[in-house]
Amino acid sequence: MVVKHIFIMNPAAGKGAAAKKLSEAINDACRAAGVQYEIYKTVGQGDATRFVRERISSKPEDEIYRFYACGGDGTLSEVVCGAANPDADKCPGALKNIEVGCIPVGTGNDFVRNFKNREFFSDITKQLLADSTLIDCYLCSDGNIGVNMINIGFDCDVVVNAAELKKNPLLPRGLAYIAGIASTLKKNLGRVITAKLADGTEITREFQLVSAANGGFCGGGFHSAPGSSLNDGLLDVSLINKVSRFDFIRLVGAYKKGTHLETKLGKKVVHYAKVKSVAFEFSEPANVCVDGEVRRLDRLALSVLPRAIAFAVPVGCEII
């Protein structure tokens, strides 16, 4: 079957500096390979999802469409939202002849950290030769579909603060998340949340950080969900109790490495579980970070969509 390669580019990703260079690389590689391709530049939030859905609705049956998200984790999430099978919880599997790829151009690019040799995601030729593998997604109660993770509390507040700090031209973008941590530590660290897990566990407590993960990484490389898998049909839920600033500083190094669950403090303050669904209720509206994009919500429910997309893995890469 004919594969059509469709590159969906967020012109603002990476401050927009990489857009022209990436377009040239795509043109050169696709022309050299003699493949069918097109480049679409998004015009605003949600446009990638709309574009993908419209293209799928008119796709010829004898063609395979591979949609590459060229941007950060937010762009990937929008493409996934348009391309994933929304009924995978009832009938696991991807939409027929629809694939999703990712060319990381953002600043965090956490999703590709779930793969060995992730630098190959920036090689267009290796992307064109990619094989697809089925991976899970998650369905949000507002109808959106994500692929990496959601964060509530400290992690999300850091994302908000880091986004503001990135606007400072004197601060290296790679340090924005670390600076965001320092800024967030000055504020109240806790938030009252009720977590209802599919295994019947219900906990209401003042938590410092809550996450539900399909992928393992957030915040530009923090390995916050070390037990996660992209294709196990489960979400990894992490509930971290409110702790003192001193204890948080003790824990954050291990949290970045993904070894926090093995520490004495981590075993004491972290409830970690693998479930098919989870619901969160907040004592007051809270920021929720969904695949890097922040929303203001008073509740959120999540459920796994098993093997909901066929994800294109570049030659030489594999899931960790």
For residue range 154-184, list pLDDT tens digits in order: 778 877 777 776 777 666 666 776 777 777 7
- Alpha-carbon distances of 297 from 160, 209, 280, 290, rounded to whole Å: 15, 16, 10, 11
C-alpha span between 70 and 78 (Å, rounded): 11
What pLDDT is attached to residue 177? 67
Percent of all residues in the chain with a pLDDT value above 70, rounded to a whole number: 94
Among 32-36, 231-235, 243-247, the minimum mean pLDDT is found in 243-247
- The whole model's pTM is what? 0.91
Among 64-68, 73-77, 220-224, 313-317, the minimum mean pLDDT is found in 220-224
For residue range 92-140, list pLDDT tens digits in order: 999 999 999 999 987 779 999 999 999 999 999 999 999 999 999 999 9
What pLDDT is attached to residue 292? 83
Here the tokens at position 218 are 């957030």
C-alpha span between 116 and 118 (Å, rounded): 5
For residue range 11-43, list pLDDT tens digits in order: 876 666 677 889 999 999 999 999 999 999 999
